[in-house]
Homo-oligomer: A and B are copies of this chain.
Amino acid sequence: MEKKIIETQENILDAARTIFAQKGLAGARMQEIADRAGINKALLHYYYRSKEKLFEQVFEEAFKKLIRPLAAFLADDSELFQKIRNICKHYNKILIQYPFIPNFIINEINTNPNRIINLISFEGVAEGKQKTMAQIQTAVKSGKIRPIDPRELIMNIISLSVFPFASRPITGQFLYKNEDMDQILKSRADSVADFIIQSIKI
């Protein structure tokens, strides 16, 4: 029995991820999620009491998928340039897999800013941030890299890693008409890190 239960639960979550990411909380329909999961509405409510509960689970899971690895990379002991390469490579990999997460999160937090409250102060993300910021400042002082505000550098790394995926429906059309965007986005992994390092190194 266990397997069937887990399978159904996973079918529901899969469907919910797709529908919520595409249409948001307000635009998603429980009936559509049920259809896509291959079950009926009654069973959907049997597993997840309400749309809101289902959404929260999907949302939190998606949020963690982005913030956890960031926290991990920021907290580790790699040398700065290597750290930058690691983050770029990892975000590229994870966003190839789940390209709709950034837009999904940004949009839903924009709609309901309260949602971020439960998720800040998250699993040592603050410590990692402090650590890497200190690392950047040291690199600046020792003359390893050009002067730059640490937070701005982190912002630039995230922007370059994430935005091309979030804006794909538009920039893909605008810059790469009908070409294989998957391939293009994949190939950015290394060049983005190079772009950043080139900018800060002396």
A residues near B (Cβ < 8 Å) are 22-27, 100, 102-103, 105-107, 109-111, 113, 116, 120, 125, 129, 146, 148-149, 151-152, 154-156, 158-160, 162-164, 166-167, 169-171, 173-176, 188, 191-192, 195-196, 198-200
**Residue contact A195 to B199, C-beta cutoff 8 Å:** yes
- Whether B163 pairs with A116 at a CB distance below 8 angstroms is no
Which chain B residue shows the least CB distance to A158? B171
- Closest residue on chain B to residue A115 by CB atoms: B169
What is the total number of copies of this protein in its complex?
Answer: 2
- Distance A169 CA – B171 CA, assembled complex (angstroms): 22
Q: Which residue of B lies closest to A100 (CB)?
A: B110
Q: Given the complex of chains A and B, what is the CA–CA distance between A148 and B116 in angstroms?
A: 38
A-B contact pairs, 27 of them (CB 8 A): A24-B111, A25-B27, A27-B27, A27-B111, A105-B170, A106-B107, A106-B169, A109-B169, A109-B170, A120-B174, A125-B174, A129-B175, A152-B191, A154-B175, A155-B164, A155-B175, A156-B192, A158-B167, A158-B171, A159-B167, A162-B163, A162-B167, A163-B163, A163-B166, A166-B166, A196-B199, A199-B199
List of B residues within 8 angstroms of A102 by Cβ: 167
Contacts A24-B26, A159-B159 known; 11 new A-B pairs at CB < 8 A: A24-B107, A107-B107, A113-B169, A129-B175, A152-B188, A155-B171, A158-B163, A158-B167, A162-B163, A163-B163, A166-B166
